[in-house]
Copies of this chain bind each other. A is one copy, B any other.
């Protein structure tokens, strides 16, 4: 049983920051907009740290909270040693848990945070996640300066950060249940086709969620995955039907929903904060969906192991939100 039902957890607030590409995208708004990739810092890494700090500080300010009102900070990002989250955490003298599940980090963070809130261990938990195109691309693929051409299966790491505030205080978004994913590896070795590496994990988690919670496939108004990209989304739909005989009522992928076609991002957007940015700054603004299952997918891609001719395992964590 990988699924958890939460009794009493609410997502009280969220704040977002978006980069230069994202402000030209399908997103309808964001709390903070960056005009360049540096935010006044000397390196891309320090810019990403500042992105995390900006959204965390805005959560505090807009909710009239001091740092002492936050009991736990949960952080994740794509950089080695989750250096960005660690560097952000050192600005705040509060308990910190660092997680890593690549682009599934946002939902893994929500699951762990919700567990601590629901169990009554902590009153208020903030979960922060981020990605920055120029820190991620050079770490996972090629030095940015090479300008290496990308194939059509590749996604584009978004430059975004999101902070969420969770507590038992009743609000407009209830965190209802979750499913922790298993690691699935069907042998994909192409770091430019991560959608294919992650789609089977997404299917596995979606199937477990519906099965364990005994829910009809029409239960959710929307299943929002992220970030399979357009190539991965198509694989997911085939895989769900052929392996699990599941046809979802409505399924969108955050990677496909972020950028304009004219932005040439090929298969779409990616990064752990791509899913929440599309959820918060596009999907929820439409006010069309009440019950949403968000399924964050992570390609557990290790350049070291790829160089040793290993494959790319995938994982997907799901969380169900009810918009009241």
> Which of A's residues lie within 8 Å of B, judged by CB?
1-2, 4, 42-43, 45-46, 71-72, 79-83, 86-87, 89-90, 92-102, 108, 111-112, 115-116, 118-119, 121, 139, 179-185, 300-305, 308, 310, 313, 315
Contacts and interface: CB of A to CB of B under 8 A. Distances in A.
Given A93-B182, A98-B100, A98-B300, 6 more contacts: A81-B302, A90-B185, A95-B181, A96-B180, A97-B111, A100-B100
Contacts of A101: 97-98
Copies of this chain, count? 2
A121 B4 contact: yes
B308 A45 contact: yes
A1 B24 CA distance: 42
Given A119-B118, A185-B90, A304 B99 contact: no
6 contacts: A4-B121, A72-B180, A83-B302, A89-B183, A90-B183, A112-B112
A68 to B, nearest CB: 10
A111 B185 CA distance: 28
Contacts of A184: 90
A181 B96 contact: yes
Contacts of A181: 95-96
Contacts of A98: 99-101, 108, 300, 315
A94 B180 CA distance: 9
Given A1-B71, A96-B183, A139 B89 contact: no
Contact of A304 (B80, B92, B93): B80
Contact of A115 (B121, B179, B183): B121
Contacts of A95: 2, 179-182
A97 B90 contact: no
A197 to B, nearest CB: 11
A81 B301 contact: yes
A81 B100 contact: yes
A119 B112 contact: no
Contacts of A92: 182
Contacts of A183: 86, 89-90, 96
Of A79, A97, A111, most B-chain CB atoms within 10 Å = A97
